[in-house]
Structure 1
Amino acid sequence: MADQLTFTIQNRERIQAVENTFGRTGKMLLKPGRILVGEGCLSKLCRRGPKAKAFFLFNDILVYSSIVVPGRWNNKQKIIPLEDVQQENLEDGMAMPNQWLIRTPRKSFYVSAASPEEKNAWMGHIEQYKSLLVQAKGLPAENAAGNFAATWIPDTASAICMRCSKRFNVANRRHHCRRCGYIVCRACSKNRALMPNISSRPVRICRTCAGIHEAKEQGNNRAKGKHWKKNSVEDTPTLPEYETSSDEDASEPGYQVPTKWFKSPEDEDYSPYCYIKPEHKHPPICGLELERCENVML
């Protein structure tokens, strides 16, 4: 009984310490039954390359954030229900050793740890507490694969649009299709579609995904006996020309500290972007025509 009381007090203090690093910008994390399992720094692959992020694993949620002052001040808090998480183990990449993929319905991303042991510890703890949570709630063991968000390809992975092959420059900016994660130009991403698992508002998709989405909607409406309105995808609101596609653009200082795990009383080089065609890395001389990249694998 005394050990349980001591643990409860220590757990409360640890969670409150995490809350304090977010100040008024973060959501309240302390709640009955919630346990802070571990905390540490992982590298998250963002649009412009790997960035150090603070990660906090609880017995029911996974929290990550941008780092302002290491160990003292974090912002841009993101909270993921643990039952929504699916992990995929990956071989070491050239820029991301000890990496793995975290998939969720709203966002999917690559992370890497400082060592293989730390990677295995993170993956093991996440899977362990997800399983316990799923069992306690009586939920299905795995989420449907189609409900996971596409993983965005970093800006540095392609110098040209992955649909029309036009070179990116100051006037022709990079955008990301929310359905396939490809890097595309504005002309190839004028379409919008409603993807409830990502946003309650229509989001940017590329023209190839727009065709797939429209065909799917037509089939659904025919099955329901409804009349299909032509160009309904194109009629959705457009985003500003110079939108910010991600909140990961700001540069952040990198740092590395050991992961802290808290005990409960009960207790060859591979790149994830190897499928990108060679011309995406090394575009041809400006002015030459390229074949259109309509048949790139999704």
Structure 2
Amino acid sequence: MAEQIMFTQDNRDRIHAVENSFGPKGKPLSKLGRVLIGEGRLMKLSRRGPQPKVFFLFNDVLVYGSIILNGRWHKKQKIIPLEEIQLEDLEDSVTMRNQWLIRTPCKSFYVAAPSYEEKRAWMEHIEDWRSRLLQCGGCRPGSTFAVTWIPDRASAFCMRCSNKFTVAQRRHHCRKCGFVVCGACSKMRALIQHIHPTKWLRVCTTCHSSLSGMHGKTPEMSRQLGTSTEKIGSDGDEVEGSMEGSSEEEEAEEQMEDHVPSRWMETLMDSWSPYVRNKPDHLRPQT
């Protein structure tokens, strides 16, 4: 009983620290029964290249955000329920090693760990706690997932009309297929329920035609964009980075090389609920 009381207080303090690190704009994370399982830094592939992000795994959600002030403060908090996550293991690519794909209904993205061991640890912990959550019977697994966006640098031409991208002819992404397209080929917006039930999202002409065929050409299902070339993103961190991106990629790689390894709490199971125990260093047995 004393250990459970000590753990409950330690867990509450850790969650409170994570909550405070996102500042006043972050959503509350304290919740009855919520346990912090582990934390660490991973590379997340955004439109302009890999970016280091901080990730926190809880027993019911995965939280991540951008790193500022040497990791002591974070911003752009994202919270994903574990039951809505689907993982896909991937081989190493030219730009990212030890990578895997995280699929969710609202957004799907690539992440990479600094080592194969950390990659396996993250994937196994997420799958393990997702399975436990689903076995409780109160949650249902997600069935529809967002596509992954093709990186900007993957194409110098619009993937619909083949026009070359320039400073004036900017890149955009179709939220339905993830293709890199020009403004002329992505003037339409549509409602994509699993991404956002009320927000009008940019779609390419091909996907708009298919959506119109499925739902009928009604004002409620589609809307034309104006002539503005403003980039519209479903996630603020997608537009981070310079147009070239090479210097930021090098800086991101350096940050990952110097980063503190992911920290996992020791799991303690009792007869009624999963617990996590992480004793302070001065209380751990000396080896």
Contact 1:108 1:151 (C-alpha < 8 Å) held by counterparts: yes
| 1:150 maps to which of 147, 152, 160 | 147
- CA distance in structure 2 between the partners assigned to 1:150 and 1:94 by the alignment: 21
Which residue does 1:216 correspond to in 2?
214
Which residue does 1:206 correspond to in 2?
204
Task: Give % identity.
Answer: 52
Alignment TM-score, normalising by the size of structure 2: 0.83
Letter in 1 for 2:77: Q
Post-superposition Cα deviations, 1:148-199, rounded to whole Å, max 9, x if no partner, equal 1111111111111011111111111000000000000001111111112212
Q: Within 5 A, what are the aligned runs for 1:140-289?
A: 140=140, 142-144=141-143, 147-199=144-196, 200-218=198-216, 229=218, 235-236=223-224, 238=226, 240-245=228-233, 246-248=235-237, 249-251=239-241, 254=252, 255=255, 256-266=259-269
Which residue does 1:3 correspond to in 2?
3
Which has the higher mean CA deviation after the structures are superposed, 56-65 or 24-33? 24-33
The aligned length equals 254
Post-superposition Cα deviations, 1:6-29, rounded to whole Å, max 9, x if no partner, equal 111111111111112111111111
Contact 1:210 1:233 (C-alpha < 8 Å) held by counterparts: no
Measure how far apart 1:119 and its partner are.
Answer: 0.4
Measure how far apart 1:250 and its partner are.
Answer: 2.9
Look up the SS of the partner of 2:208 in the other structure.
Answer: helix
- CA distance in structure 2 between the partners assigned to 1:29 and 1:6 by the alignment: 20
Which residue does 1:51 correspond to in 2?
51
Measure how far apart 1:263 and its partner are.
Answer: 1.9
Change beyond 3 A, Cα 1:238–1:196: farther
Show structure 2 runs of 5+ residues with no match: 242-247, 275-287
Which residue does 1:274 correspond to in 2?
none
Look up the SS of the partner of 1:114 in the other structure.
Answer: coil
- CA distance in structure 2 between the partners assigned to 1:233 and 1:32 by the alignment: 39
Look up the SS of the partner of 2:65 in the other structure.
Answer: strand
- CA distance in structure 1 between the partners assigned to 2:220 and 2:268 by the alignment: 55
Over aligned residue pairs, what C-alpha RMSD do you find?
A: 1.9
Q: Looking at secondary structure, tell me which structure has more strand per residue.
A: 2
- CA distance in structure 2 between the partners assigned to 1:138 and 1:197 by the alignment: 20
Change beyond 3 A, Cα 1:233–1:207: farther
- CA distance in structure 2 between the partners assigned to 1:28 and 1:240 by the alignment: 36
Change beyond 3 A, Cα 1:250–1:143: closer
Post-superposition Cα deviations, 1:255-295, rounded to whole Å, max 9, x if no partner, equal 2220010123216xxxxxxxxxxxxxxxxxxxxxxxxxxxx
Contact 1:84 1:104 (C-alpha < 8 Å) held by counterparts: yes
Contact 1:202 1:237 (C-alpha < 8 Å) held by counterparts: no
- CA distance in structure 2 between the partners assigned to 1:191 and 1:12 by the alignment: 46
Measure how far apart 1:232 and its partner are.
Answer: 6.8
Contact 1:88 1:101 (C-alpha < 8 Å) held by counterparts: yes
Contact 2:185 2:205 (C-alpha < 8 Å) held by counterparts: yes
Look up the SS of the partner of 1:137 in the other structure.
Answer: coil
Which residue does 2:26 correspond to in 1?
26
